[in-house]
Structure 1
Amino acid sequence: MKLKNLKIVGQHKNFQNLEIDFSSCKGVAAFIGNNGSGKSNILEVFSAIFKALYLDEKDEFAYFLEYETFNTISVKITSNGKGRVFAVNGNPVFDIKEYLPKRVIAIYSGEEDRLWRKYYRPVYMNYIAGVNQSNVLEYPKMFYLNKFYWNIILLSLLVSEANDVKEFVKEKLGIINVNEIKFKFFKDRYKNYNNSPALSFIKQIDSVDSYSLESFKTVLGGDFSSEDYNSDDYFTGYDSTDVFQALYIAFTPEDKKIIDDIEITFNDDLNVSSLSEGQKKMLLIKATLEFASSEDTLILLDEPDAHIHINNKEQVVKVFEPYENNRQIIITTHSPTLTQSFKDENVFMLTDGELIKKDRQYIINELTKDFWNKHQQSNFLGENKDTILVEGKTDITHIKTALEKLSSIDERYKVLDFKFLPFNGASGLKLFVDEFPVNKNTKTFAFLDRDQAGFEAVKETLNFKGTKDEFKGDEKNNIYINYIPKKEGHTKSDFIIEDYYPLNKYKDFLFENVSCVTEMPNHSSSRFKIKFAEKTKEFEISDFDGFRKLFDLILEISKLNKIPVAPIVTPPVSPQNEAFKQEETNVEKTDKEEVSDEIKKTSSNFVNLKHKKSGIAITESQHLRNKPAFVKRMYTLLKEEILEKDSSIVIDSKVEYIAFKRNKKNIFDIKIQDKKIILWVNKKKGDIPVQYSALFQDCSGKGHHGNGDYEIHFSSEAEVRGFIVVDVIDSILKL
C-alpha cells in the first residue's frame, strides 16, 4: 500500500487538526522530533484506525485517510467518530474490507506494552479464537512482534536459502555455525488444533526434541515416498515463511500453545541472549519484512535503530530498501544518523503535536546543511525559545559562553534562554527573514558584526540605502535586526563580536597561536576564530563584561515587546555620572532662587493651559523644582544627548514645555512631570523612518502641548538610556 493523506479532525492526543501529506514520500516515512513531540502517537493513530476497521468498531476520533493499494486502487475513508463513509476509485462503497491492508505490523521500542494491550491484543484475541480451526497458515490482521519471538525468527532465518538472508545471518548476527536446535512440545494440547496446518507442521518435527540445522532442513524438505497425496507420510515441504507462520500459530495462544520454546545454540556456546540489543532489534525488523509482511502491508516501527551502534544505524535503511516499493513503512526515530539517510521528502518533523511545514524545513536545511544533520535541524525547529540569528558558528560559542558566565553572577541574565541559528552570510539572512514564518509567541533577533559583511547583510535583507554607520536597527517580519551594540569606550566604526573581550586577551592568544593564522582572522570559518572561540571558555567572568551591552539590549527588547527603546545599562562610575550629580546639585541650588509671583501662578497650573501659550519664560530649574531625582536625571540625559549631537541647538524654556530649537524652529519639546518625562518630535506623521516611528505614540490630530505628531513617554533612566543607545536623536536631527 501507499499512504497519500491523513487528516485528524479536531483534537486527539496532542494533535489538533493535524494533516500529513504523504504524496511526495516514497518508501519509508520517517517521523522525527523531541520527546513529547507526538511522533510515537502517529503509530498509535494508525493502529487505532485499522483496529476499528478490522473489528468493525467505533472510531476514537474523526479523521480522513487516503491510500493506494499495491494494485493502484484508490481508497478513501472519512470518519466523523461515529460513522464512516468509503470511496474506492472515487466511487462510494458500503464495505472496503477487501481493500484494507492485508496486515498492520508493529515493532515497538522498550518495555511499554500499552500499544499492544489497547490495539493489537483485541485483534489477536479475535484471531486465536479460531486459530485452531484454521485450514491455512495465516497471521492476525494486526501483528505485534516483540522479544518473545526472537528464537522463532532466528530459526526461520537460519533455514532460509535466500542469499540476502544468509548474508544477514553471517554479517549482521555473526553466526558462523549452528550447534543445536531444541524444542519443547505440548502434545497433550494437539486435540485443540483439529486439522490445522500448524499442527501438521508440528507433527512433522515432533519425533525428536533436538536437531542439527542440517537435519532440521532435511525434515522440512518434503517426503514423496507415498503415492497417496492424502497420506500423512506425504508432504511437499516448507520454506522459511511457512516455518515462521506455523511456529507463530503454534506458539501464540497463551494457554493453548503446542510448542513452548525453542533453544538455538550457535558458535559453540552462544544463544539469542548472547546477541547485542541492536542485533535483536535487527532480528525483529528483518522478520517483519521477510516473513510477516506482504504487498499492501503497513509496517509501524518505533525507533527501529534503538540500541544499534551508530556505525550500523544506516544498515537499518538498507534493510528496508528491497521492500519499499510494495510496503508502506513508517518509523519514528531520535537518531540524526538514521534520519540523515532518508531523502528530505521522506522526513516529517513534529513539535508539540504539530507538523513542521516543509518550507520551514527547506529554509533551515539551506542555512545549516553543511554542519547540521536533519535531527539537529528538527531540534531547532521544535524548541519553543527566543531565537538569535548570527553570522557564524563561532558567534554562537561566544554568546553561549558569555551568557553562562555572566548569569552565574547576575540574576537578570538567568531568564535568557535562546536557540541559535547561523545564517552564513547576507543571502542566508535574507532567505530566513523573507521566507521563514517565525513563531510570534517568541522573539527572534538577528545580530550582525558592525563591519562590511554585516552591512552587506543589512543592505540585501532590508534594501537599506544609507551608509553603514547610518543603520540603527530595524524590524522586518517580526525579526529585530541590528548590529551587535558596541561596548563602552569603543570608538571605532567597526565592531565585531571578539571586540567584546579585553584587547590583551585577544593579543595574547594571537601571539600564542601564530601558526594557525593562515588567513584573515575575521573570516568566519578561519581556524583562528574557531580556536579563539573555544579558548574563551577558559576566560574569567570579568573578561565577558563587554557582553552585558548585548544582553541588556535583549532584556529591554523583551520587556517592551517591540523595537527596543534601549538596553538596561547599570552606569559605571565615570566622569559622565559625576556630571549627572553635578547637574542635580546645580538644579537644587537654582531652586533656592526667588521666583516672581506672576511666574509662580503661571507655573503652578501650566499643565491645564490647553494650547494657550503664555509667552512667559521660566527657567529649566523651575521646571525641575520639587521633581524626583530620577526625573531630573532623565531630563539631563536627554538634554546632554541633544546638545552633543548638534551644538547649534538653543534651549527655550516655556511654561508648557522646554523647547530645543534649531534656526528658531522647535526640533524637540520636553515636558517634565512628577513621575515621567514626555518628549515630542516636531515632525509630521510619516516623516520619521519606520524603525524609529514604532517607538513613538501617534499624536496627530490630538491636542497636546508640544509640536509635531510624535510623542514618547519615559518613566525610568533605563528607558532614556536605551533611547539614546539606538541613536534616535541623532537620526532625527539628520532628517
Structure 2
Amino acid sequence: MRIDQVYIEDYKNLKQFTINLDENKMKTVLLGQNASGKSNFIEALILIFKYLDLRTDTKRDTPNFDYNIVYKIQNHTVDVTHKNKTYTIFVNGEKQTLKSFFSDEAKAKYQPKYVFTYYSGLSNKLKELFWDHQNNFYNKIIGEDFKDAELDSLRKLFYVQLVHSYFVLLAYFTHEEEESLKFLNEVLSIEDIESILFVFKMPKWAESRIKNNPDDIFWTAKGLVRPFLEKLWELSLAPIYNDEKIRTDFAETEDQKRLYLYLKGKDKLQELAKTYTNNTALFKALESTYISKLIAEVRIKVKKKNVDGSITFKELSEGEQQLLTVLGLLRFTKDEDSLILLDEPDTHLNPIWKWRYLEFIDKVVDRPASTQIILNTHDPLVIGNLTKEEVRLFRTTADGKIIVEEPEVDPRGLGVEGILTSEFFGLPTTIDDFTQDKLDRRNDLLVKQQDNLLSEQELEELRVLFIELEDLGFGNTFRDPLYQKFIVAYKNRIKDQGKNSYTKAELDKQNALAMEILEELSKEEENDSYR
C-alpha cells in the first residue's frame, strides 16, 4: 500500500490542496508550522479510507469533501475520484463499476488491510472518526455466533489509545520473540513481567441481562470476550468479587461491581496466550474487554534493570509508554498493505529516542515494500537520517493557501543545527539573543580595530569578549584571517541597516551579500598567491 498523490478540494484549511508522495519510500515525514494543514491532511486520509471501507450497496455515506487519490496496492494502481457525493474509480486504467469495487472481494484486493492511527495528544474529534468501525467491531464480537476466523477481517481502521499500551506489553511477553525482548531490555530496561492484575467491572449493558441470569460469573458477556475471560479465570489465583464506590471525577462517584483476576508470573500469561494462534489474536481478545466496557484497569508489575524491586507499568514515564505503544502495535497488528498515520508520536520522547525513532520503526515493520508510514512532527531530531524524498514541507502562501513541497536538500548529513537553520524549519539562527548580541558587539569592535579607531576601553572590551565567546566555542574561527576579513567587510556594508530582522527577504539579501563578499575575498587571495 503506497499513496502516490492526493488532491483535496476543500477540507478545513486545505483548499485545492495537492500533495505528491514518493511511493518508492516507506516513510514520509510532514514538516511545517502549526496550522499549516499537516494534521488536517492526516484526518482527510482517515475519512477517505473510512468511507471507502464502509461503503456498501445499502450504506452510501461519503466524506463531506471532494477529492482524488491515487495509490498502489498489490501491484494495482487505484485512482479514486469523489465529487458531489459520487465516486469515479479506475483500477489499472480501467473504469470500475461501484458494485464491483465495493464488493468484499474487491475491498480485500484494492483497499488497505489496516489504517492504523496514533496521536500523542487528546483529540475527541479525531477519536470520533473511528467510532463507526469500533461499533461494527463491537457488534460482531459480542454475538454468541462469533467465529475466530472472522477476527482478522474485522475493523480496518484502528485508533490507538493509552489502554493499548498495557495490552502491547503483555503481547511482548507471550511468545517472547528474541527481537522484541531485546528491544524491551536495551531500550526500555524492562527485563520481565512479575504479575498481572486484571480489574473488571460490570458494564451498564449487563445490568438488565444479569437479572435473568444472576449466577453468571462474567455478567452474561458473550462472543470473543467470553472464552478469554473463562481461560483467565481458570489460570488466576483466588478470583475476588467486590462492590466498590469509585470516584469518576472530583465531585462524583458511582457504585461498581468488580472482579479481580490475578496472574502470578509470566508462565501463566504464556499459558493464556496458547489459547490463541498468534499475538495479534491475543491482542484483539484483550482489546475486546475494553471495547465491551468490561475492563476497569490492568495493573502490570515489571522488573527493570537498575531498579531495586519491581515497579508498575503505570510508573513508567509517558515517553516509555508512548514508544512501547506505537512500536508494539506496529509489531502485533502489522500486516501487508497497511497505512500507518502517526501524528506527533515523538512528543514525550527523550532526544536519543527521537533521533532513533524511525530506526526503531524500520526494525518493527516486516514488510516495508507494502507498508506506508506518514508521520507528522515538529522535531528536527526525528528527520536527521532521511533523504529529501522522504520529507514534505507544508507552507502557507501570502494568500493563505496551503502548498506542499519536496525540500531541495537531504536532511541527512546536515546535523541538528543545519536542519533547524535550513528550509526544514527556517530558524535564522540557533544562537540565543544574549550570545548573538555579544557576537554582534565583537564584530562591531573588529571593524573599528581594522581602522585603528579602538579606544583603550574598547580594546579591553574586545579582549574580554574574545575570552567569553571562546568559552562558548566561538573563538576558534578567528584563527582564520580570511574569516576575520569577511566579518569586517560584511559589517562595513551593513553598518547602516540596524539590527537584523531575520525576515525571509532580509535573510535572502544577507546571503546574497555574503556570497558577493566571499567571491571578492577569494579573488583577492588568488591574486595574492600570484605575487
- TM-score (structure 1 length as normaliser): 0.51
Deviations 1:501-532 (A, max 9, x none): 96447744565659968634441699xx69xx
Residue identity in the other structure for 1:104: V
1:351 Cα deviation from its structure 2 partner: 2.2
1:363 Cα deviation from its structure 2 partner: 6.2
Residue identity in the other structure for 1:128: Y
Percent identity of the aligned residues? Answer: 22
User: What is the aligned partner in structure 1 of residue 403 from structure 2?
Assistant: 355
> For 2:68, what is the secondary structure of its paired residue?
strand
Q: CA RMSD in A?
A: 4.1
User: What is the aligned partner in structure 2 of residue 215 from structure 1?
Assistant: 267
1:246 Cα deviation from its structure 2 partner: 0.8
2:320 to 269, 276, 279: 279
User: What is the aligned partner in structure 2 of residue 114 from structure 1?
Assistant: 125
Instruction: Provide closer, same or farther for how the CA distance between residues 553 and 155 of structure 1 changes in structure 2, counting only shifts above 3 A.
Output: closer
> For 2:284, what is the secondary structure of its paired residue?
helix
Q: Distance in 1 between matches of 2:54 and 2:341?
A: 19
Residue identity in the other structure for 2:403: L
Q: Distance in 1 between matches of 2:27 and 2:325?
A: 17
Pairing 1:390-409 to 2, within 5 Å after superposition: 401=437
Pairing 1:259-338 to 2, within 5 Å after superposition: 259-267=295-303, 268-322=309-363, 323=365, 324-338=368-382
Instruction: Provide closer, same or farther for how the CA distance between residues 320 and 553 of structure 1 changes in structure 2, counting only shifts above 3 A.
Output: closer
Deviations 1:666-704 (A, max 9, x none): xxxxxxxxxxxxxxxxxxxxxxxxxxxxxxxxxxxxxxx
Matched, 1:49 2:44: no
Tell me if the contact between 1:310 and 1:337 (Cα under 8 Å) persists in the aligned partners.
Answer: yes
Q: Distance in 2 between matches of 1:298 and 1:394?
A: 35
User: What is the aligned partner in structure 2 of residue 184 from structure 1?
Assistant: 199
Q: Distance in 2 between matches of 1:113 and 1:525?
A: 59
1:203 to 204, 218, 230: 230
Structure 1 stretch displaced more, 37-46 or 167-176: 167-176
Q: Distance in 2 between matches of 1:308 and 1:239?
A: 30
Instruction: Provide closer, same or farther for how the CA distance between residues 342 and 160 of structure 1 changes in structure 2, counting only shifts above 3 A.
Output: farther
Q: Distance in 2 between matches of 1:370 and 1:221?
A: 45
Structure 1 stretch displaced more, 285-294 or 328-337: 285-294
Q: Distance in 2 between matches of 1:277 and 1:24?
A: 33
Instruction: Provide closer, same or farther for how the CA distance between residues 548 and 175 of structure 1 changes in structure 2, counting only shifts above 3 A.
Output: same
Tell me if the contact between 1:201 and 1:246 (Cα under 8 Å) persists in the aligned partners.
Answer: yes
User: What is the aligned partner in structure 2 of residue 59 from structure 1?
Assistant: 63
2:92 to 66, 82, 89: 89
> For 2:382, what is the secondary structure of its paired residue?
helix
Q: Distance in 1 between matches of 2:485 and 2:355?
A: 30
Tell me if the contact between 1:263 and 1:271 (Cα under 8 Å) persists in the aligned partners.
Answer: yes
> For 1:320, what is the secondary structure of its paired residue?
helix
Tell me if the contact between 1:160 and 1:166 (Cα under 8 Å) persists in the aligned partners.
Answer: no
Residue identity in the other structure for 1:340: G
Tell me if the contact between 2:478 and 2:484 (Cα under 8 Å) persists in the aligned partners.
Answer: no
Deviations 1:253-276 (A, max 9, x none): 23xx3x443221122441121111
Residue identity in the other structure for 2:147: N
Residue identity in the other structure for 2:408: Y
Q: Distance in 2 between matches of 1:364 and 1:154?
A: 36
1:497 Cα deviation from its structure 2 partner: 10
Deviations 1:280-328 (A, max 9, x none): 1112112221112311111111111111100221232122113133321
Matched, 1:102 2:106: no
Residue identity in the other structure for 2:112: P
Tell me if the contact between 2:342 and 2:375 (Cα under 8 Å) persists in the aligned partners.
Answer: yes
Structure 1 stretch displaced more, 369-378 or 88-97: 369-378
Deviations 1:155-193 (A, max 9, x none): 111213211111122222222232211223566556442
Instruction: Provide closer, same or farther for how the CA distance between residues 24 and 126 of structure 1 changes in structure 2, counting only shifts above 3 A.
Output: closer
Deviations 1:383-411 (A, max 9, x none): 8xxx9xxxxx7999899749999xxxxxx
2:137 to 112, 121, 127: 127
1:172 to 160, 163, 187: 187
Deviations 1:428-464 (A, max 9, x none): xxxxxxxxxxxxxxxxxxxxx9xxxxxxxxxxxxxxx
User: What is the aligned partner in structure 1 of residue 283 from structure 2?
Assistant: 244
Residue identity in the other structure for 1:108: Y
1:72 to 70, 75, 80: 75
Tell me if the contact between 2:351 and 2:381 (Cα under 8 Å) persists in the aligned partners.
Answer: yes
Q: Distance in 2 between matches of 1:31 and 1:112?
A: 19
User: What is the aligned partner in structure 1 of residue 388 from structure 2?
Assistant: 344
Q: Which of structures 1 and 2 has the larger relative contact order (alpha carbons within 8 angstroms, sep 6+)?
A: 2
Residue identity in the other structure for 2:14: F
Deviations 1:20-56 (A, max 9, x none): 1113551111001121222111211111111222222
Tell me if the contact between 2:165 and 2:324 (Cα under 8 Å) persists in the aligned partners.
Answer: yes
- TM-score (structure 2 length as normaliser): 0.69
Tell me if the contact between 1:4 and 1:23 (Cα under 8 Å) persists in the aligned partners.
Answer: yes
Instruction: Provide closer, same or farther for how the CA distance between residues 249 and 502 of structure 1 changes in structure 2, counting only shifts above 3 A.
Output: farther
Instruction: Provide closer, same or farther for how the CA distance between residues 373 and 190 of structure 1 changes in structure 2, counting only shifts above 3 A.
Output: farther
Q: Distance in 1 between matches of 2:279 and 2:376?
A: 29
Structure 2's unaligned 5+ residue stretches are 56-60, 203-215, 237-260, 304-308, 468-474, 510-531
Q: Distance in 1 between matches of 2:431 and 2:229?
A: 68
Residue identity in the other structure for 1:247: L
Residue identity in the other structure for 1:357: E
Structure 1's unaligned 5+ residue stretches are 223-234, 388-392, 406-448, 450-486, 488-494, 534-543, 564-735
Instruction: Provide closer, same or farther for how the CA distance between residues 396 and 282 of structure 1 changes in structure 2, counting only shifts above 3 A.
Output: closer
> For 2:133, what is the secondary structure of its paired residue?
helix
Q: Distance in 2 between matches of 1:214 and 1:396?
A: 51
Q: Distance in 1 between matches of 2:188 and 2:390?
A: 28
Deviations 1:575-611 (A, max 9, x none): xxxxxxxxxxxxxxxxxxxxxxxxxxxxxxxxxxxxx
Tell me if the contact between 2:48 and 2:63 (Cα under 8 Å) persists in the aligned partners.
Answer: yes
User: What is the aligned partner in structure 2 of residue 148 from structure 1?
Assistant: 163
Q: Distance in 1 between matches of 2:224 and 2:500?
A: 77
Residue identity in the other structure for 2:195: E
Q: Distance in 2 between matches of 1:215 and 1:364?
A: 48
Instruction: Provide closer, same or farther for how the CA distance between residues 508 and 145 of structure 1 changes in structure 2, counting only shifts above 3 A.
Output: same
1:147 Cα deviation from its structure 2 partner: 0.9
Q: Distance in 1 between matches of 2:115 and 2:454?
A: 65
Deviations 1:553-596 (A, max 9, x none): 99xxx9xxxx9xxxxxxxxxxxxxxxxxxxxxxxxxxxxxxxxx
Matched, 1:374 2:419: yes
Q: Distance in 2 between matches of 1:398 and 1:277?
A: 34
Tell me if the contact between 1:150 and 1:272 (Cα under 8 Å) persists in the aligned partners.
Answer: no
1:77 Cα deviation from its structure 2 partner: 0.6
Tell me if the contact between 2:386 and 2:411 (Cα under 8 Å) persists in the aligned partners.
Answer: no
| Greater radius of gyration (CA) | 1
Deviations 1:335-365 (A, max 9, x none): 110021322210111123633433xx31697
State the number of aligned residues.
Answer: 422
Tell me if the contact between 2:194 and 2:266 (Cα under 8 Å) persists in the aligned partners.
Answer: no
1:146 Cα deviation from its structure 2 partner: 1.1
Tell me if the contact between 1:104 and 1:142 (Cα under 8 Å) persists in the aligned partners.
Answer: yes
Instruction: Provide closer, same or farther for how the CA distance between residues 39 and 374 of structure 1 changes in structure 2, counting only shifts above 3 A.
Output: farther
Pairing 1:223-622 to 2, within 5 Å after superposition: 237-254=276-293, 257=294, 259-267=295-303, 268-322=309-363, 323=365, 324-352=368-396, 354-358=402-406, 361-362=407-408, 369=414, 372-378=417-423, 381=426, 401=437, 503-504=454-455, 507-508=459-460, 513=466, 519-523=479-483, 549-551=496-498
